Amino acid sequence: MTQLRIAVLQFPGLNCEEETLRVLRFAGLDSALVRWNEDPTRLRDFAGFVIPGGFSYQDRVRAGAIASKSPLIEGLVREAESGKPVLGICNGAQILVESGLVPGREAGRVDVAMTRNRVPHREGYKSGWVHVRAGRQTNCFFTEGLDEVFPIVVGHAEGRFLTQDPELIDRLADPDRRAAYYCHPDGRVAEDYPANPNGSAGGVAGLEGLDGQVLAFMPHPERAAWLWQVPEDIEGPWGERRAAAVARGNIADAPGPGLALVQAFCRLRGVGGS
């Protein structure tokens, strides 16, 4: 079988590229790093793209703002508009929002901000495990078929989706029209901290762009791609799966809850991906 090639884009200050490459390989995907100062036409050689997490350009001006203006992102926009999927994780999500690829209803227009977390009695960076669920009425390439609550890691200080666009506000009022939202282990939308780690209205954790092939996703699937990464005491079926795998002695290579988002790229094999 021909392996799909997925590019991981790197900008100065991103710091999750190695883990992201490792998870793509775990999913059976050929992957390579493309750096910010390389020729953007190199992106033509890839079937899909990931922008990993970190702090591009030290979050100068705003998280993701400087990277979003780069020639490499212009190249990425061309590839995305040709239909190739793009996953932005954490700072990658912020770059996609700043680039106008998400929500991308009008080419290049910036309709959403990722602003600082707002939860009672605390400020700044929040890191930890939360539960997330995919909306059931979106056309998001990455969350298609994901119908269960899954635990995943967040680590950010500016993860609150904010827009003044009435049409988008209206759309996001329905949980099932959000690509992903923070929830309680039983699936209820999480409006309050700590289940909702950043105060995002409606618990929005991910927002899709263009025709669904682009996803800005604040949690880190690469930190939950193996079952051994899941905490022992996590509530819900994933904790039970972990305990069962430990009892069977086969936890080392067991897939974790975050792998499914990355495995979505594998579906490109069925639609002529290179």
Min. distance of Cβ 110 from other proteins in angstroms? 5
d(CA 230, CA 258): 10
Taking Cα atoms as reference points, which of 1, 4, 41, 28 lies closest to residue 273? 4
Min. distance of Cβ 113 from other proteins in angstroms? 4
Burial bucket for residue 87 (CB in 10 Å: 0-12, 13-18, 19+): buried
Min. distance of Cβ 70 from other proteins in angstroms? 9
Q: Which residues pair with 33 in a beta bridge?
A: 8
Torsion of CA 96, 101, 105, 106, to 10 degrees: 120
Min. distance of Cβ 112 from other proteins in angstroms? 6
The answer to whether residue 106 is catalytic is no
CA 128 to chain centre: 16
Is the dihedral angle over the CA atoms 170, 171, 176, 181 positive or is it negative?
negative
Q: Which of 16, 19, 90, 208 is catalytic?
A: 90
Residue closer to other proteins (CB basis): 95 or 224 = 95
Min. distance of Cβ 160 from other proteins in angstroms? 9
Residue closer to other proteins (CB basis): 58 or 139 = 58
d(CA 247, CA 59): 43
Residue closer to other proteins (CB basis): 83 or 108 = 108
d(CA 240, CA 249): 14
The answer to whether residue 140 is catalytic is no
Residue closer to other proteins (CB basis): 61 or 244 = 61
Residue closer to other proteins (CB basis): 71 or 148 = 71
Taking Cα atoms as reference points, which of 78, 158, 89, 84 lies closest to residue 124? 158
CA distances from residue 259 to 142, 151, 226 in whole angstroms, order as listed: 11, 11, 7
Residue closer to other proteins (CB basis): 113 or 243 = 113
Q: What is the number of alpha carbons within 13 Å of residue 158 lying toward its C-beta?
A: 23
What is the contact surface with other proteins in residues (CB under 8 A)?
A: 57-58, 60-62, 65-66, 68-69, 73, 77, 98-100, 108-113, 115-116, 118, 162-165
Min. distance of Cβ 202 from other proteins in angstroms? 15
The answer to whether residue 98 is catalytic is no
Total length of the chain: 274
Which residues are marked as active site? 90, 220, 222
